[in-house]
A = this chain, B = another copy of it.
Amino acid sequence: MAKKALNVGLVGYGFMGRTHSNAFLQAPRFFDLPYQPVLKAVCARNADRVKGFAENWGYQSIETDWRALVQRSDIDLIDIASPNDTHAEIAVAAAKAGKMVLCEKPLGRTAAEGKTMVDAVESAKSPNMVWYNYRRVPALALLKDLLEEGRFGRIFHYRSQFLQDWTISEDLPQGGEGLWRLDSSVAGSGVTGDLLAHNIDMALWLNGSLTEVAAMTETFIKERKHSLTNKVEPVGIDDASSFIGRFQNGSMALFEATRYARGHKALFTLEINGERASARWDLHDLHRLEFFDHRDESRLRGWKSIHITDGDHPYMKQWWVPGLQIGYEHTFIHQVADFLQAVGEKREAAPTFKEGLAVDYVTDAVLKSAKTKQWETIPLV
A79 to B179, CA, bound (A): 43
Quick one: CB contact mask for A150-180 with B, threshold 8 Å, 1 for yes?
Answer: 0000001101000111101000000000000
A285 on interface, CB distance cutoff 8 Å: yes
A292 on interface, CB distance cutoff 8 Å: yes
Please tell me how many copies of the chain the complex holds. Answer: 4
A192 CB, nearest partner CB in chain B, Å: 14
A312 CB, nearest partner CB in chain B, Å: 5
Is chain A's interface secondary structure helix, strand, loop, or mixed overall?
mixed
| Interface-facing stretch out of A251-259, A334-342, A357-365 | A251-259
Q: Is the CB of B292 within 8 A of A166?
A: no
| Interface-facing stretch out of A99-107, A118-126, A238-246 | A238-246
Taking a contact as CB atoms closer than 8 A, the residue among B263, B274, B278 that contacts A303 in the complex is B263
Q: Which residues of B contact A260 (CB under 8 A)?
A: 156-157, 273
A276 to B261, CA, bound (A): 10
Q: Is the CB of A307 within 8 A of B265?
A: yes
A306 on interface, CB distance cutoff 8 Å: yes
Q: Is the CB of B325 within 8 A of A312?
A: no
Q: Which residues of B contact A97 (CB under 8 A)?
A: none
A330 on interface, CB distance cutoff 8 Å: yes
A5 on interface, CB distance cutoff 8 Å: no
A258 to B15, CA, bound (A): 40
When C-beta atoms are compared, the residue in chain B nearest to A326 turns out to be B327
A229 on interface, CB distance cutoff 8 Å: no
A262 on interface, CB distance cutoff 8 Å: yes
State which residues 277-334 of A face B: CB under 8 Å: 277-278, 283-287, 289, 291-294, 296, 298-307, 309-310, 312-313, 319-330
When C-beta atoms are compared, the residue in chain B nearest to A325 turns out to be B327
Q: Which residues of B contact A267 (CB under 8 A)?
A: 323
A218 on interface, CB distance cutoff 8 Å: yes
A73 on interface, CB distance cutoff 8 Å: no
Chain B CB count within 10 A is highest, among A263, A296, A299, for A263
Q: Which residues of B contact A296 (CB under 8 A)?
A: 304
Q: Is the CB of A157 within 8 A of B261?
A: yes
A370 CB, nearest partner CB in chain B, Å: 10
Taking a contact as CB atoms closer than 8 A, the residue among B273, B274, B294, B327 that contacts A324 in the complex is B327
A33 CB, nearest partner CB in chain B, Å: 11
A215 to B375, CA, bound (A): 10
Taking a contact as CB atoms closer than 8 A, the residue among B25, B254, B265, B309 that contacts A322 in the complex is B265
A19 on interface, CB distance cutoff 8 Å: yes
Known: A156-B258, A159-B256, A326-B328. 4 other contacts (CB 8 A): A156-B240, A262-B277, A284-B325, A325-B327
The 9 closest A-B pairs by CB, nearest first: A266-B323, A265-B323, A263-B292, A302-B306, A327-B327, A324-B328, A156-B260, A265-B322, A326-B327
12 cross-chain CB contacts under 8 A: A157-B240, A157-B258, A164-B323, A244-B244, A261-B278, A262-B292, A263-B273, A266-B321, A285-B325, A302-B305, A326-B328, A373-B375
